Structure 1
Amino acid sequence: MTADRTALAGARLVLPGGVIDAGRISVEGTRIAGLGGEAEPGDLDLTGYTVVPGFVDLHVHGGGGASYASGIAEEALTAARTHLEHGTTTTMASTVTGEIDEVCRQAAVLSELVEDGVLAGIHFEGPFISHNRCGAHRPDLLRDPDPALVRKLADAGRGHTKMFTLAPELPGGLESVRMLSELGIIAAVGHTDSDYEVTLEAIDAGATVATHLFNAMPGIQHRAPGPIVALLEDERVTVELVNDGVHLHPSVVELAYGTAGAERVALITDAMGAAGMGDGLYPLGPLQVRVEDGVARLVEGGSIAGSTLTLDVAFRRAVTVLGLSLNQAVTSLSTVPARLMGLGDTIGTLEAGKNADLVVLDSDSYELAAVMRRGEWIVGADRFARAGNPA
């Protein structure tokens, strides 16, 4: 086969219509050319492996010791590459709270990487969030969501701003949600002290995402259901969950799935620079984070500061810890976030004509074995023998 044409045979394929135990995928250039058919001599033999669509991360701040909030292109490239090697073939880079002009500068750098095809968009998390629920965001830099300032940041993304997280109860919050919705930018409710009623108003105004549901928002009370219940019960809302075993107890994740269903859950990393690295000290925007035993916490105050999660681990936990089906896991790690970003026609499922973004997993352990992005092997291609050839 030529370099731009290959086929993978013998793998378990997780397709939109179900799971095929021993299937074949043919790839031409950057696209999936077809699914099905008999194995042919020269095909890569993937017997014993499972192939799923490339993962899509809506919410990630960094990895590989690098941060998207650094404003340095080389760091952003390192972060993107780190997560790519763990199966995230589509990344929306997230910023953190900073001075408005500095975050605008960061957005200009990230927008160039979107134009280069490295990233798929920009997510602004902060500074328009609640002091009471700011988590790993610097309190003195927080702002009310004045629509003019929100628009300034949105415009700094040069057409590549995809999502804003804000607290709708703050002055200007609901107006900003309406404006973002009119601009075609996802308005996400997060880092909020909102109550049930205001959250419903935000949803009616156009908010469609819950930023890391349960985290950085009031809990459920029997006479004050708060934002969690409002976000879970409304079919217009996609809920982000951090399935790392630290942010959420597995039973809470199961509760969200039982209420919203896989079609409304996006599993995210919320990863900071320590993802793919070891314990130590790392920056998160203007703050310092200490990672111990893989758990990231602020040096000052000890608040959880993002995660060290990668999406291959999130997938494995979804199947082996939560007991999700392969199709449910694929839905939450690929299909739902792809659709939310408006990219469902090209990524998010294994279908002919879509990008050849593939993750290959061991069928027994679900450990990552290989990653392909747009027809190019990123890691793991040397694992597989050619059919009809000696191993």
Structure 2
Amino acid sequence: MITAFQNARIFTGEQELNNQTLLIREDRILDIVAPSAVPSDARIIDAAGKILASGFIDLQIYGGGDYLFANEPSAQALRGISEAIVKSGTTTYMITLATAPMELYQEAFDIVHANPHPALAGVHLEGPYFNPVKRGAHTEHLIHAPVADEVKSLLKASKGVLKIMTLAPEVCSDEILQLLIEGGVILSAGHSNATYAQAMHGFDQGIRTSTHLFNAMSSLHHRDTGLPGAIFLSNAYASIIADGIHVDWQTLRISKQVLGRRLFLITDAVVESLSGTHVHVAAGDRYTLPDGTLSGSMLTQLDAVINCVKHAEIELAEALRMATLYPAEVMQAADLGRIAAGAKANLVLLDESLQLQSVWLEGKEVVQ
């Protein structure tokens, strides 16, 4: 069965199309055609002038619904998180784990491996190979420099579900970086006090991106630009938390002007959890540790897109790319983050106020 989306403003990831019809079949995008070329037996969905875009991609999110995966690593929690995230418009995500004992990572890997979900792309480990000076909300006594045997064990235990790892370039040898890259892990520089030279060396060794720009990293100083300066002057991507709290709107705007298509959105979202290893307290418009340290956002990716448009003077098409096309490029996933023939039929329908109307995950409409 072919489904045809008519009368939509189609944001493909490259351009906006009007007076065109999007065709999907099963879990894939079939084509974009003129209305006159729609098959006679297609199921018609009238978008009534609304915005049709690729489903959002979030490469760093800790939980959703009532579940924080690190505190409740279970199939039920993973299912609940996936359902909540998809209903918010995010159709691809990396479940993220903070610095924790290796036993928790093993348990989480096993659960993710045994419970696939079409929105779940893998695991992002944020830690434990950090510079403790920039630990942020992470548990200090669990932070340590990596050794080869531990990294090999970690890769073996992950059974291929470990996809991204945030680490500090200055605490990792070239050997460690290459072990992880050869193991299929995307490396992201973060929680780092690296000098400019240390950070650039890490990028030269294959670190592809960086984690929550400006948060938990060395400062952009006029005598040593540190990790931010290396990000700006390299070819690396950078994620950013666009809530006006982790960075202010002017910093978001400046970063976008400097980085262009290398800047993408993450939520770094958590849920309130008042017990367990990872405690997050809801504090108005953010989450904190009990001592007040900022520990996560309340964002959805759609919130982040809206904030980019409303507060940072970023055009809608570009803000959408920051939550779709650019994170897909970080993943090197050609069938995600765009509306094109052969891509996954992961879609969101938004009204003119950018309020979410509908979500399709691999061609199936998600019940809101």
> Which residue is 1:347 aligned to?
336
CA separation in 1, counterparts of 2:242 and 2:47? 28
Distance 1:336 1:317 in 2: 17
Within the alignment, does 1:372 sit opposite 2:363 as a pair?
Answer: no
Report how far residue 19 of structure 1 moved.
0.9
Task: Check conservation: 1:144, 1:173, Cα contact below 8 A.
Answer: no
Residues 100-154 of structure 1: CA deviation (Å, up to 9, x unaligned)? 122221121122234x534111111111112111112111111212232223222
Tell me which residue corresponds to 2:50: 49
- Percent identity (aligned): 28
Which among 75, 82, 85 is matched to residue 87 of structure 2? 85
Q: Distance in 1 between matches of 2:55 and 2:356?
A: 12
Q: Which residue of 1 aligns with 2:245?
A: 246
Task: Choose the corresponding residue for 2:22, options 22, 25, 36.
Answer: 25
**What amino acid is aligned across from residue 337 of structure 2 in structure 1?**
G
Q: Return the offset for 1:282.
A: 4.3
Question: What is the CA-CA distance between 1:21 and the residue it aligns to?
Answer: 3.1
Structure 1 unaligned residues grouped into runs of 5+? 275-280, 381-391
Partner of 2:104: 102
The question of whether the paired residues in 1 share the 8 Å contact of 2:253 and 2:313 is answered with no
State the shift of 1:184 in Å.
2.8
How big is each residue's C-alpha offset from its partner over 1:179-215, in whole Å with a ceiling of 9 and x where there is no partner?
A: 2223331111111111111111111111111111100
Structure 2: distance between partners of 1:282 and 1:369: 33
Relative to 1, partners in 2 of residues 1:22 and 1:317: Cα closer, same or farther, differing over 3 Å?
farther
8 Å CA contact 1:14, 1:326 repeated in 2: no
Q: Which runs of 5+ in 2 are unaligned?
A: none
Matches for 1:57-206 after TM superposition, within 5 Å: 57-69=58-70, 70-114=72-116, 116-170=117-171, 172-206=172-206
- For the residue of structure 2 that corresponds to 1:156, the secondary structure is helix
RMSD: 1.8
In structure 1, C-alpha distance between the alignment counterparts of 2:69 and 2:83, rounded to whole Å:
12
Structure 1 counterpart SS, 2:279: strand
Structure 2: distance between partners of 1:97 and 1:17? 37
TM-superposed deviation, 1:351: 0.8
The one-letter amino acid of 2:314's match is: L
Aligned match of 1:357 = 346
Give the TM-score of the pair, scaled to structure 2.
0.93
Equivalent pair of 1:113/1:119 in contact (CA under 8 Å): no
Q: Which runs of 4+ in 1 moved over 4 A?
A: 39-42
Amino acid at match of 1:306: G
Instruction: Give the equivalent residue in structure 2 for 1:313.
Output: 303
Asked if the contact 1:196/1:225 (under 8 Å) is kept, the reply is yes
Is the 1:95–1:124 Cα contact (8 Å) retained in structure 2? yes
Farther off after superposition, 324-333 or 76-85: 324-333
- The secondary structure found in structure 1 opposite 2:79 is helix
Counting only pairs closer than 5 Å after superposition, residues 298-309 of structure 1 correspond to structure 2 as: 298-299=289-290, 301-309=291-299
Shift of residue 48, structure 1, vs aligned partner: 3.0
Distance (whole Å) between structure 2 residues aligned to residue 71 and residue 93 of structure 1: 11
Partner of 2:269: 271
Give the Cα–Cα distance (whole angstroms) in 2 for the partners of residues 347 and 151 of structure 1. 29
Residue in structure 1 matching 2:325, options 335, 339, 342: 335
Cα separation, partners in 2 of 1:118 and 1:111, compared to 1, 3 Å = farther
Report whether the alignment pairs 1:292 with 2:283. Answer: yes
Query: Distance between the aligned counterparts of 1:37 and 1:336, measured in 2?
Result: 28
> Aligned partners of 1:35, 1:18: CA distance in 2, in Å?
12
Code of the aligned partner of 1:325: E
Residue 375 to residue 19, structure 1, CA distance change in 2 (3 Å)? same
**Displacement after TM superposition at 1:360 (Å):** 0.6
Q: Deviations over 1:204-244 (max 9, x none)?
A: 11111111110001211111211111012101x11011111
Kindly indicate whether the alpha-carbon contact (under 8 Å) linking 1:372 and 1:379 is maintained by their aligned counterparts in 2.
no
TM-score by length of 1: 0.88
